[in-house]
Each structure stands twice: as structure tokens, then as C-alpha cells.
Structure 1
């Protein structure tokens, strides 16, 4: 019994001893932070330079704020996509203290119950998973206020670099703690936001080539990561309803408190907060203007062009009833481009040309844009210069001073590009149908509209538009017009949409505009005009003139003659995007994003059969030797790459040992056209339209494939006596056979398409005993072997076209 009493007494003493130990081991905040640099602001923090740590003071918990991570210093590889000043994730988080730990927890805002009943809201919150971003130990405390060591979060791979590299098959990397440290120069505090930055070094084993192309050492490279803690906006912002015709990006969530007869998913547009000083005035100054700042690193004349283009948007805000609501200035010297208080247009360098981006920091609760953030690739301007360089004798007899039209065109594109990307950060999505409405929006991807004068000279004056478009004004009206009440807003938004329809302003965005499988012929990337076939005719004529006049005067004196090939490529491929636009007419359907209107019946109908046949004929023309062949004197003009230059992905892949290869160029161009002519989705729609719309005389798939086969075979017969043309024609025959085999072997496409492909292959066989050319014998053997034993077929790898998109954006 005595032993039992002693054991009980000892067990009661243990918690008391632990508490005393805890009191001794957990110092007060004053003691812990003695000698540290204290920075007050949104969240007070202490910087301990000797320790290389940041300690965060938590005098409030369970309070929501925005956590944004970014990449302050990038990798410089377009292929990998880790760019300077790139935004990362935006999350609503809160600190939650649990005994000796503090958790940084993320809200799951995709599923909510917007209800006055707390139990209803809690039931949804508990039904779906939450996320803990990071956990911390309390290192000091004073009363209810605690201090945590924030350094592990700041030195982590918050941007997901290692995962991205692994997915890109570039290697397996991890953060090297010994080579990573805080970056105090850009760790700052402000009343509504606290900013941290760190230098992060990754080490690992590379398996790709891209890291080594931009980093001094592919086994170890260093980036800088930025972390922003941002106060959430007040509740004065009023979300605006999303309509698929509006031209905006939607933000959405499922509201489980919604009555059963209403949509579960709530959709709102993303936009900045903008209000009139005088809501009763037709035109008023804003309470607070939207101000964008341009990266100080942009050089002249680029800087001026970017400022001019971005400022076009003020005209659209004027149409929405504002005076001086949108401004663009140069970023102040002491400002950080990742500071959430600044909307920034960043000038970003990469080792190769690539996409530009318009992104934003958005409040996930409402869709309010807090920070617009543009990344503009600096090599964009050089690509447009190159396009123009190939169309004229750019350096003439003089040989040193380029034709001024080259720079003028490149800067015109930069103005449009600046406006385009800023448009995204205002909430606007792409409108790829704008080119059919006289280039009515900067939110399209524009192909340079270069024309020929009556004298046959190149005219660059209309290459790119200047100023905002009619569609852009309508979208800003929808998103930013200030209304006095909800009823007025509902009526006003409906009026804006009705006005757009009355003006004939079409709107089609990304998924319906992408080239290969999409069925919407009125929306495409990199095109001009409402008639794709007519535009193809214009481009082919432009291309023909440029190829005929191409000479050594297209490059400066002193440049290796082999550099002519770089200038030649965009000329030879002048029509590449129009091939895609024309192909979309075949098996196409006419539709938009209309909503149900009482008393009206929607129409979803095939593209006119006559238009479809014109499209087929025009695409077949791009397979003719006349289109695919180069003027013979060009090959004599351009030698293999000079010492120190070499071939790169901006050139055609050569199959002749490394020099200019006209037959390989033709082969890649042919393959491009056949890819779009024979896309399985398009062929399935041809079957579908013939079956369901028999009254409008649409061809069946067998006839469609026979038409392509007959044209290609006829070209070979017509060019028997012309060696160059014959080789191109025979190459077309081989590529057609391979495409048909790949269709027939594809187990994931329409069965009707597979059957038609087999039928077309059987038509390629030659009767036994027929005298065949070597090319005919090859095709006959290829087809018969596949039909007898499909598993024996091995696809022939055809070099891709040189890099194309982005030619802009």
C-alpha cells in the first residue's frame, strides 16, 4: 500500500515538473528577441542576422489573410517556365495555435455554405478536406502572444520547383539547406502586407538539357523565392455575376446552402474594385484609380511602346463612364515588383522566346483582383523584327542600317502585346473571334497584317492595330460600369450584352479556338479577316513575292550567309497558322455562348458545305509542289551553318547532313497540313454531319479521303518529268500513307473513322503484276504489310516544324 501511495504521488508530480520545465525552457518574447531587428507592420517580425532566421510575432490567431508565394529570381528557361517575378499560389490561410504548436492552415473555399446558420456552414467545412501548409513550434511566449520561427517555411520549396522539374523530366532535385539563406534586402513590412524573401539553392541529378543551358552548373542552381502575407480586402467589394458571353474569367464555388431549384455552383467574374466618386454622374473620376507600373528594367524604345499600349485601356474605362480611371507609370525606384500593393508589368528575359502572361493575385472568396501582374518575354520584339526582315531587302545595298519599318512593326506588336496581357489582369479572357470583326479586340492573337501595294511592294502600315477595340470597350462596360443598386446592375449588364450582339461582336475563347480538334470555324489563333480561304490566298501571294525577292540583302553586311536560313524560315512558313484556320471550316459548326431566350430556338448547324469544300481545295493547294518548292537559287545562296553558329530549333531539321534541306522543309510543311486535314475529331464530325444533315449535301468520309488521295497521286503523275517537283509529290504520297495507317491503328477514335481509314489504305494497294516505281513499290509494300500484320508497323518519325507559337502573346 505504501508503494502504491508513493507511485501515485510521483505520477502527480510529473505534470507539475513538466510545467516548470516548460516555463524554464520557453523564454519570454522580450528575452528571446533581445538584440534582434524588430519590424512592425501587418505581422510584426524579428530578424536575427547572426542566426539567419526570421521570427514571427503572433498576437492574433484564427484570423484569415492571403498567403502568396512568388519567384523573385528565375531560371531563365522558357521550356521549364520558372521566370523572374512569376506569381505562385494565392491562398486564404490562418494561424491556429494548438498547445506548443502553431499550424498555418489553408481554407477550402471551393465548397461553402453561405448561410446565417453556423451549423450549416460548419457541416460543409467539415465535409471537405482542409490543408495545413506548414507547422511551427512556439519558441517564445508572453501571455497569449507567441513567437514562432518562420524560417523553415521561407527556406522551403514553396513554389514547387522540384516537382515541376521532375514532371518535365529535368531531374530529381531538392532544397540544399546549407546553400540556402534569407534575403533581407527584400524582406520588408508594411501596414497591410508583410513581405519575405529567401535565396534557395537546389541540388540534384539532371536528366534533361534545359537546366544546363541556363545555369552555370546543372547539378546546383539558385533561385529566390518571395512570400507575401496580405491583409484581406474589406467587405465593400460587390461581386459581379459571370455570364459566358461577357468575356471574363470566372471564379466559382459550390454553395451547399443554395435552394434546390437554383444552381449549386456560383460564378462571378474576376475584376478590380472600381467605384465612381459621383455615382449619379454619367462620367466621373474614380474613388481610387487603377494604376499599373512598368518594370524599370525595360529599355527604350521598348519602354515607351509598353507604356503606350497599356494606356490604351483608359479609353475603354472612359466608355464605361470613368475619367482617368486607369493609369500606367514607371515603377518607383524603391518599389518591389512583388509587393502586393503594385500592379506591375514585368520585362522578363529567357534564353529563348516564349509566352508572355497576364496573371493576378485574386481574393478567392469574391473574385476581386488585388494585384495585376504581367510577365512580358523580352525576345518577343526580336521575333517580329525577324518576320519583317524576311519580307523585304532589310539591309539593302548599304548593308548596315536596317529598314526602319522592321523596328516600327516590332514596336507596334509590343504595344498590342502590352495591352493584351494587361487585359488579362483586368479579368478579361481571350476573344479569338475578334479577328473576324475587323480586329475588334486586343484579346485575340494577331497575325501581322502585311499587304502588297499595286506595285507589288510590302506595306507594313496595317501590321498591327493601334488602340483598344470595340469588343474591349464592351467587356470593360460589363465588368466595371458602376450601378446604384442590384436591380440597375442586372438591367445594365443585360443591356451591355444585348448591345454587343446588336453590334455583331462575336466572342469565342480558348477551348473552342484551339486548332486541331475544335469545331468552331469563326475563332482561331494568329489569323485575320472573316474568310479564312481568302486570307490564305492573300498570304500565299505575299509569301510567293517574298520568296522570289529573298536575297543576301535580307541580312546585314558581316553576318554569315548561313544566317539567311533563320530569316527564311518565317517566310517559308508564312501560311502555317492559316492552314489551321482553314482546316477548322471542315466539319465545323456555327455556335456561340448564347443563353436560353424565351421564344427563340438555338441553332447549332454545320458550316456551309460550299465553304467546307473551298477549305478542302485550299488546303490541298498547300500540298502542291508549286507551294512547297523553294526557288532554286535560294539553296545556292545559303550554305550550312558557319563555325560557331550551328542549327537550333528555330530552323528546320536537316536530313542532308546539316545544310539547308528543301525536301525536309517540304516534308514538315506537308505533315502539318495532313495533320489538320486528317485529325480524327474532324473526320468524326464529317461522318456525323453526313449522317445527320443529309439534306444539305455534305460529303461522306470515304469521298473526303478519296479526294485527298486522288489529288496527291495526280500531282505525282503530273510531275514525272520535273525531278524536284516529283520528289516533293512522292514525299506527299508517302506521308499520306503513314497518316492513314496511324489513323487505322488508333484504337481511341471513332470506329467509323477507323473503318474509312482502312478503306482508304486498301485503295492505295497496286494490282499484282503492275510495273511500279520505287516510291509506288514502297507504299504498296508498306500498306500490304500493315493490313496483313498491324503490329509490324513502325511509324516513321518526321521532323517537327521549327518552333512557331508563340509568334506573340
Structure 2
């Protein structure tokens, strides 16, 4: 915990100052006499200005002017903060751009203030505060960091301290950042065309704690870029809907029954943070709170109790069966963890009732979202920036992922042959639905405040917060077995994080002691934790923090998947396709089979220059709960990993069987290759060079990563028993350029090997050219390249091998002599694998 525990009550009190909820103006106040403004004559009374309009009393009173397409608000309190959120009820449908149906924006804390005859909507700077009872100390920080005026408008009418404003111009502006997202995706400059946009006044709603306002926005732009052309009715005219939610701030007084919880790096959860300049001098000003929903027991003294208000997630009615049932079932898995944490009937998942607004911020929602291509799913926790309290969970599940899972299963099982057992087709669908249950639980976990744990796969079904690869094996008949591809239910890590983040431990020192015991028990049980910041880069070092791997032993799983891959390639045929599909789709189905070990290959690479470490506080280290420092992967394991990984650059691994090559057919008329296919430089026909290059690039990208090479250099410098840069590169070149002749039994073997060899050259030169190596590591790489040049010149070979060896030697020598004189090639593009 970084903030001093003793400061929490003071912080809570200080956060309440200036955070009084905006008052709800009673409807009767509309008849109050007109007020005289500071600028002169009396403004019209609100009753007169709103005569004939539809009233929506609530947190902020709303008037609908459907005839003129306006929304008017009456603001009853100034300088009092509330929360503002944008979202997209209707969206673009492009995974590449990322403007999805139901997508939430950032939560902002704002307030209205009056200057002259206008009201200003101001975003407060919540990143820097002074949690102090001293108003001057608070003011000093407020004055040091800029706020932002989001909007201003004329006061249309007023009654005493109530001000009526036409909020339409705010709603007609791009508050969600649609134009910025399109520009970032290189789709061109788009801006709202107000003449083709409208405030949807009839849809405006006001409730006691929130206001929901919506507009139709038409963004005009060039319409020339690929992503918008792929999805839009008219790519120069993108019409979407924008939702603006205005939300009352939660109470923070002692009677509210809820306290923020200090974040700990081993909690397994998310945090919100800000800099508090009022902390004691010995304490960090960087304050972090645990992100979590409010969950209060009806009987705090009971070990297990019902709750005052359960957490309920609602599934999108647009999800069809059997998807709908799978989503509900998977998301419901969390109920058992809450029960174990002492909360009875505290969490449930239901189908969204008919007619309920899925965008209303009062509802936690699981959206079933369609896009033109498969893409990622997301779970968002929308929080109070002061405390980390989750006000809404919003989940986005991409609908095409389940179809990719079916494709993978069919490609492995080949279930459409004349003699294929009938249950194979059903097994493919069952595997995809099993994955969907896990995905639903995973993304809801994010919306509950839980982070990824990519090390949980070391415990089998350790956590739904990991990225799972289907558990594949061969049965006794040597056939691919998918029967138990995915786990069922939450795992032990999930039980731990629910108890840690939501458990009721009484607060204060008692709570901190209980949380420390939980962390100690988790470590003692062998639970590992590694998350995004340490696991997504190609050169990441933690050998357990792996996306899409499985099993406790990386090298054993590598061999297991290798056997499955070999069997799947042997049986790959038109039988992987349903009869109605055009035969050109065989190429797309070959991709996940050929690259079946792509994620486990990354796991093997992690062992090279690898080192594991804990997320911990200094107190946990001193108490012996966790370990400090980095534990380097043993030398013998690193050398095994080097051997296995470099074997994937040999033609024996990269070449396709003849019977696979002989059935690959170009896409039919009306169809074309897309991103899910291997590239081709042979016009319409399948390119066997490109597939070998992509396979080699998959390995080279991991092995020839600057961070990994730098670690190899240091680990060897500190311990000469560890493999170093020279050893790793020597083995790499011995398996490629300097290898023995390829056996004649390998189809196109020498050509396939040369394709991989050239990828290695490109990888080495890009490694040198990337300016990320330490000078001494770069010197070792350069020496290996120079030695390879000498070897190629001394061993010219014959025929096409001689041609490549001569050109490669000239290419590398020219680069070593003058890097600027050589145009380097990027590594070949590998077709997308994730998300699965």
C-alpha cells in the first residue's frame, strides 16, 4: 500500500469537500419568480421558456423539444461535480478502427459554473489533488494544474439559483473522439457535419441519479481509406449515435457504508491513481485505490451474508442461441467465488429485460458486437476517479471470435469427410461454445476490476483471467483430441482475487493484516501473477507470464503441440471444409494448423534470457511473503529452449507435405484472399515460399529481439555457464545457413530452407539497425554476421544455393561497411493468430 493508512479518513473527508451531489430541482420550482441576472435585465422564468415541452425530472431536469430537435437542462447547483461519460449505441463495425457498438469512453468529473450570462461545463483535473481540510492547500494544487472548459452556452431562462440552458450544441459535437480514432487509424480527417446531425430529443431520459442524452452524428471525411470503405454504407459519410451520460457522484461520507481500499500490486486487480500533494512527507504522493464495485453485507458480522444490492450483469438480447446461453453460463461462474468470499446471492447474470436501454449507465451490460472482421473483446470498469468505485461494467464481445474457434476445430478434426464420425462436427461447435463461456467470464472479470494473469496457466485451469489456448493432445488412436479443450468454472486465482478485492475485513489495521495473510497464503499455494506490462512484448522475459499457452512445463507442451501439428498436417485435406464452402478457403484453414505452435513458440523463447519475478510491496519482501529480484532461467533449460526454437527454422519443420500442396486451390471467382491468409507473390496461386518465410519470421521475431539479446549478453557476463549471444547465434546459423544438406524426402526442401535463411539475414540486420542493443551486445551480433559472411564466401555451394550464399554475403558485407547504403527488408508479415 503506497498511501499511509492513517491518511484514509482525512482523504475521504477532503474528497467530499466540493463534491456535494448536484441537487434535484423540484418540479414546483418552475413557477418561482424570475431572477435578475448580474448582467442586467431579468431573464425569462423557466416555466415560460419550457411551456409546451416534455419534462423529464431527475438528477438534472431535462426538457425535450422534439419539434425543434433540442434538449434543455436546468442546472440547480453550480461548482458541484458530477460524472460525464460518452458511449456509442450505434457504431462503425470495424475492429481495426475500434469504434464498436456499446463502446464506453472515459469517465470525466465535471461541473457547471456561471460567468456572466453563460454557463460553462468544466472538466476537473482529477490527476492532481490535495486531500486536505485546508482550503488554501487544496486551492494551491487546483491552481497549479489546468482544468478544461468543455462547453459554454447562454442562459435561456432562470429561477433564483436554477438556470435553463440549451445543451444541444454539446450533444452535436464529437465528444467520444470519433474523428481522432479515425485519424489514428489513418482513415483520413473526419468532422461532424451539423447539418446532417441531430439531437434525438425524444430519447432524452432523466432519472434520480443519471441523465441519458443521445444524438445522431454524421462525420464527413474523404472516404478513401480501406477500413471505412470496408464497412460503411458511404465511407465519406459515417453516421453513428453518441450517448452522453451525466451521473451523480457516489456519497463518500461515513454513513455511506463503503470505504475505498488501497491497491496492492499482488491484488490481481486494476487501480485508479492520482497525485496527492497533501500526503505526509515520508509517504508517496502517488496514491492508488483498488477498482471494485460497491458490495455491502446486510449483516457485516456474519461470515456469509446476503448483500444490500447485488452485482447484476445483463446479456445483450441481440445474442442468439446457443451463444446467449453460453454467455450467461460463463459469466455466472463468478458467483461461486463471491460465495466463497462471504457474499451470498451477491452476483448474478440475466438476460436484459425487453425494452430496457442497454446504454443506460445504471446497468452492467454484456454486449454482443458485430464487426466486419474478427477482433478483440473487452471488459471495461467505469469508475469514480476519486476512489475506484465501479459505477458500471461494460463488456464487448466480438461475435466473429466464436466462428474462428469453430474454424480451428474443424481444421484439426477434418470432420467433413465421407467416413468421418458424425460427432466430430458437433465436437467442433462444443469446443467453440466452451471457449465462449470462458471468454464471457474473462471479460466480465475485467468489468469486476480484475486484471489479466498470464501466469495462471501454470496451475492448469488456474484462472479465467488468463488467455487460454485449447488443450490439444492425441488420443490412443493417434487422432487429435479436443474433448476437454477448455476448462470449466473459475480457478483458485479467481477465488483469491474476489476475496482480496471484495472481502469484508472490517477496515483499518484489521483489514490490512487480513489482506497480508491472503497474499501470503496465495504465495504459499504456488500462485503466480504476471500481467500485461510484462508479457506482451516479443522480448518479454518472464517465463510464466504467457498469453495463449497451457501446461506447467513449457517444453513438454511444445512437444505435445508439435505432435498434434504434425498429425493435423498429415490429415489436412478438403475434409476440413463443409461441402458448401469454396475450395479456396483451404488456405485460410491451413494458417492455424501450420502455425499451431506459434504461442508455445513464444513460451519457449521466454526461457531464453528468461527471468521470473514477483509483484510485491517492500513490506511483503521484508515479511518473507514474496521474493525480491529476478530469478534467471537455468542454463540447461535455456539451451533446451534454444535447440527447440531454432529447429523451427529448418526445412523439415517448415515444408508442407506434398498432399497438402497438391490440394491448395486459388480462391474462386467472387472471393479473394484476406488478412487471414498467407501472403502470395505468385499472383493467384498458393505461394510456398511465403508460408515458409512467415513461419521463419514467427521464430526470428522472438529470438532476434533486442531485449532478449541484451539479457543474454548480461546473463553470460555475470555467469559464464549461461548461454550468451555468440552461442545463441552460432546455433541459429548452424540450423540455417550452415546446416547439412536438406534430405531429399522434404518437398522443395532446399528452396524452403533458403526462404528461412534469408529471413534470418533480415532479422540479424534489422536487429543491428534498430539501435536498441547495448554497444557490447551489438558488437557480438556484428561479429557473428561478419563470421557468417566469411563462411559463405569460403563455402559457396552449388546452383541456387550458391546464388543465395553469394548475394547474402554481399548484402551483409555492404551493410557492415556502410549501413546507410543498404535498404533493409522488414520481416515477412505473419497472418494474425490472436484473438482466439
- Superposition TM-score, scaled by structure 2 size: 0.91
Specify whether residues 546 and 143 from structure 1 end up closer, same or farther in structure 2 by C-alpha distance, changes over 3 A only.
same
What residue number does 1:786 align with? 815
Structure 1 segment 611-630 matched on structure 2, within 5 A: 611-630=637-656
Q: For the residues of structure 1 that align with 2:250 and 2:317, how far apart are their CA atoms?
A: 28
Contact 2:197 2:217 in 1 (8 A): yes
2:758 to 734, 744, 755: 734
What residue number does 1:754 align with? 778
Contact 1:517 1:681 in 2 (8 A): yes
Q: 1:603-638 deviations in whole A, cap 9, x for unaligned?
A: 423110011001100101111212111111112112
Specify whether residues 636 and 103 from structure 1 end up closer, same or farther in structure 2 by C-alpha distance, changes over 3 A only.
same
Q: Secondary structure at the match of 1:765?
A: helix
Deviates more, 1:701-710 or 1:427-436: 701-710
What residue number does 2:312 align with? 291
Q: For the residues of structure 2 that align with 1:573 and 1:512, how far apart are their CA atoms?
A: 24
| Aligned-residue offset at 1:21 | 10
| Aligned-residue offset at 1:234 | 1.4
| Aligned-residue offset at 1:766 | 4.1
Q: For the residues of structure 2 that align with 1:562 and 1:329, how far apart are their CA atoms?
A: 41
Contact 2:649 2:735 in 1 (8 A): no
| Aligned-residue offset at 1:798 | 4.7
1:639 to 638, 656, 665: 665
| Aligned-residue offset at 1:60 | 1.9
In the alignment, does 2:50 pair up with 1:33? yes
In the alignment, does 2:816 pair up with 1:799? no
Specify whether residues 469 and 635 from structure 1 end up closer, same or farther in structure 2 by C-alpha distance, changes over 3 A only.
same
Q: Secondary structure at the match of 2:305?
A: coil
What residue number does 1:160 align with? 177
Contact 2:646 2:731 in 1 (8 A): no
What residue number does 1:148 align with? 165
Q: For the residues of structure 1 that align with 2:610 and 2:154, how far apart are their CA atoms?
A: 61
What residue number does 2:456 align with? 434
Specify whether residues 719 and 27 from structure 1 end up closer, same or farther in structure 2 by C-alpha distance, changes over 3 A only.
same
What residue number does 1:339 align with? 360
Q: For the residues of structure 1 that align with 2:37 and 2:691, how far apart are their CA atoms?
A: 79
What residue number does 1:178 align with? 195
Q: 1:465-501 deviations in whole A, cap 9, x for unaligned?
A: 0001000000000011112342321121111111111
1:416 to 438, 442, 450: 438
Q: For the residues of structure 2 that align with 1:539 and 1:626, how far apart are their CA atoms?
A: 16
Q: Secondary structure at the match of 2:143?
A: helix
1:57 to 74, 88, 106: 74
Q: For the residues of structure 2 that align with 1:82 and 1:19, how far apart are their CA atoms?
A: 43
Q: For the residues of structure 2 that align with 1:355 and 1:20, how far apart are their CA atoms?
A: 54
Q: For the residues of structure 1 that align with 2:421 and 2:203, how far apart are their CA atoms?
A: 44
Contact 2:411 2:593 in 1 (8 A): yes
What residue number does 1:365 align with? 386
Contact 1:54 1:149 in 2 (8 A): yes
What residue number does 1:657 align with? 683
Structure 1 segment 571-720 matched on structure 2, within 5 A: 571-596=593-618, 597-598=621-622, 602-694=628-720, 697-715=721-739, 717-719=741-743
Q: Secondary structure at the match of 2:189?
A: strand
What residue number does 1:326 align with? 347
Structure 1 segment 14-413 matched on structure 2, within 5 A: 23=41, 26-235=43-252, 236=256, 237-397=258-418, 403-413=425-435
Deviates more, 1:776-785 or 1:608-617: 776-785
| Aligned-residue offset at 1:393 | 2.1
Specify whether residues 220 and 629 from structure 1 end up closer, same or farther in structure 2 by C-alpha distance, changes over 3 A only.
same
Q: Secondary structure at the match of 1:217?
A: coil
Q: 1:408-456 deviations in whole A, cap 9, x for unaligned?
A: 0000000000000000011100000001112310000000002111111
| Aligned-residue offset at 1:185 | 4.8
| Aligned-residue offset at 1:399 | 8.8
Contact 2:64 2:204 in 1 (8 A): no
| Aligned-residue offset at 1:78 | 0.1
Deviates more, 1:797-806 or 1:149-158: 797-806
Contact 1:447 1:526 in 2 (8 A): yes
Q: Secondary structure at the match of 2:89?
A: strand
| Aligned-residue offset at 1:515 | 4.2
Deviates more, 1:727-736 or 1:68-77: 727-736
Contact 2:762 2:826 in 1 (8 A): no
Q: For the residues of structure 1 that align with 2:105 and 2:806, how far apart are their CA atoms?
A: 57
Q: 1:223-281 deviations in whole A, cap 9, x for unaligned?
A: 00000111111122200111111101111111111111112111111000111111121
| Aligned-residue offset at 1:405 | 0.4
| Aligned-residue offset at 1:732 | 2.2
Q: 1:706-738 deviations in whole A, cap 9, x for unaligned?
A: 121122134353447966111111222222222
Q: For the residues of structure 1 that align with 2:615 and 2:794, how far apart are their CA atoms?
A: 58
Identify unmatched segments of 5+ residues in structure 2: 1-35
Q: For the residues of structure 1 that align with 2:429 and 2:565, how far apart are their CA atoms?
A: 20
| Aligned-residue offset at 1:743 | 2.1
Q: For the residues of structure 2 that align with 1:67 and 1:745, how far apart are their CA atoms?
A: 46
What residue number does 1:443 align with? 465
Q: Secondary structure at the match of 2:88?
A: strand
Deviates more, 1:485-494 or 1:156-165: 485-494
Q: Secondary structure at the match of 1:171?
A: coil
Q: For the residues of structure 2 that align with 1:755 and 1:769, how far apart are their CA atoms?
A: 23
1:743 to 758, 767, 770: 767
Give me the CA root mean square deviation: 1.9
Contact 1:716 1:726 in 2 (8 A): no
Specify whether residues 766 and 307 from structure 1 end up closer, same or farther in structure 2 by C-alpha distance, changes over 3 A only.
same
| Aligned-residue offset at 1:595 | 2.9
Q: For the residues of structure 1 that align with 2:530 and 2:795, how far apart are their CA atoms?
A: 52
| Aligned-residue offset at 1:52 | 1.1
Specify whether residues 785 and 143 from structure 1 end up closer, same or farther in structure 2 by C-alpha distance, changes over 3 A only.
same
Specify whether residues 686 and 46 from structure 1 end up closer, same or farther in structure 2 by C-alpha distance, changes over 3 A only.
same
Q: Secondary structure at the match of 1:226?
A: strand
Q: Secondary structure at the match of 2:154?
A: strand
Deviates more, 1:317-326 or 1:699-708: 699-708
Contact 2:223 2:237 in 1 (8 A): no
What residue number does 2:521 align with? 499
Q: For the residues of structure 2 that align with 1:575 and 1:746, how far apart are their CA atoms?
A: 27
What residue number does 2:495 align with? 473
Q: 1:747-791 deviations in whole A, cap 9, x for unaligned?
A: 343112221221111112247686541121111221222223321
Q: For the residues of structure 1 that align with 2:37 and 2:607, how far apart are their CA atoms?
A: 78
Q: For the residues of structure 2 that align with 1:798 and 1:540, how far apart are their CA atoms?
A: 24
Specify whether residues 159 and 61 from structure 1 end up closer, same or farther in structure 2 by C-alpha distance, changes over 3 A only.
same
What residue number does 2:7 align with? none
